[in-house]
Amino acid sequence: MTVEPALRVALVAVPATTASTLMGLYDLLAGVRRDWHMLLHGAEVTAPIEPFVVSRDGRPLRCANGVLVEAHAAIADDPRPDVVVITDLAIPPWEPLGERYDLEADWLRRCHAAGATLASACSGAVLLARTGLLAGLEGTSHWGYCEALQRDYPDTRWQPERALVAAGIGQRLVMAGSGTSWHALALFLIARFVGAEEAMQVARLNLLDWSTTSPLAYAAMARTAQLADPVIARCQEWAAEHYRHEAPVATMVQMSGLAERSFSRRFAQATGHAPLEYVHTLRLEEAKQLLESGDLPIEAVAFEVGYQDASFFGRLFRRKVGLTPAQYRRRFGALARRLRDVSGEDAGDELARPTTTRLSPRP
């Protein structure tokens, strides 16, 4: 039996790093699959993710809140990560980053050029923006930093209301927004690179609120590769926002400037999906979130995601998901209700807010 190598996730540590987010991400990623099997099955399994802390020189580092953190590698060691995460930085939003972390920014650019996914949590987007890789793209950060980021990096469309943004070709630039949205970042990375089921296990074990960032919504993102076709990438970006459109495939064909047959062939090569199948999957993943987190009638859910015929929606959902919409709601809506009960407050509006799903290219 062939054992796949662990996904190597580098967590960047600089003097402005907050140790709680750095080590919180470390613990969540290191416990994937391992903790679930230990607690439920009494078995020891190897975790599929290998997180490690990278600092400029590889020596122990005292973080912004005074906690001493041991680094596992130095940038000069060329650790070759699959994913690099910049956790939050305890710097005032009005204080320019300047050149203090340009060595780290240069390394981030090299990692991205080599194929790595770059991610930031909260104010870590300040360093990610310093790389220049976000120009022309959407981004998010802590709400208190977005105004300054918009001033310093006007070529990026900063959206403080977004909990999570995946941008760029292959969506290899991932940003989590304010505060503890780093939980959403961890679930996103686990779902994308390991699997939706493992992400759900982490959410259950740690009582994380997955209602607005459901790992199931990213089920099709597991094991991603990079998308090298910018024409199709642009169509994917459009489809992620306009999947409710009455004729999405025809519009994407028009956007591409290609003949319909050429577009369909290139789309399938890049994403692993025929264009219409891709749109159906986007719609169904959004429907999953609505079913998990809200009480809309099934017919209203169908209409909300772009289907005029609720019967067709029901048949398609059952064929693709293996459950009827009602069965799915009973099974996965229970967690959202339990979270509301535990919190002792009516979080219905927040839990019902959908999050746009973006599918990944073909592995």
pLDDT tens readout for residues 205-229: 887 765 443 333 333 333 333 356 8
Task: Give the whole-angstrom CA distance, residue 291 versus residue 318.
Answer: 13
Q: At what angle do helices 230-242 and 260-271 cross, to 10 degrees?
A: 90
Alpha carbons 103 and 356: distance in angstroms, whole number:
34
pLDDT average, residue stretch 142-153: 90
Distance CA 289, CA 335 (A): 12
pLDDT tens digits along 269-278: 887 788 999 8
The pLDDT-based confidence of 70 (bands split at 50, 70, 90) is very high
User: What's the pLDDT score for residue 130?
Assistant: 95
**CA end-to-end span of the chain, whole Å?**
21
pLDDT higher than threshold 90 for residue 200: no
Rounded to the nearest 10°, the torsion over CA 256, 258, 264, 267 is -40
**pLDDT (tens digit per residue) in 296-309:** 899 999 999 999 99
- Indicate if the pLDDT at residue 346 is higher than 60: no
Closest CA to 26 of 37, 13, 16, 14: 13
Residues in contact with 16: Cβ distance below 8 Å, sequence separation at least 6, in sequence order? 63, 64, 89, 90, 91
Three-state secondary structure along 72-133? CEEHHHCCCCCEEEECCECCCCCCCCCCCCHHHHHHHHHHHHCCCEEEEEHHHHHHHHHCCC
- Rounded Cα distance, 45 and 224, in Å: 23
As a whole number, mean pLDDT of residues 279-285 equals 89
Q: For residue 161, how many C-alpha atoms fall within 13 Å in the half-sphere facing its CB?
A: 5
CB 191 within 8 Å of CB 32: no
What value does the mean pLDDT take over residues 313-319?
92
pLDDT digits (tens, 9 = 90+) for 102-143: 999 999 999 999 999 999 999 999 999 999 999 999 899 988
Looking at per-residue pLDDT, the higher value among 331 and 290 belongs to 290
CB atoms within 10 A of CB 312: 11
Phi, psi of 5, deg, nearest 5: -65, 150
Domains along the chain? 7-208 (3.40.50.880), 230-351 (1.10.10.60)
163-194: per-residue pLDDT in tens?
Answer: 788 888 888 999 998 766 788 889 889 988 88
Q: Could you give the residue ranges of the DSSP H alpha helices within 131-181? A: 143-152
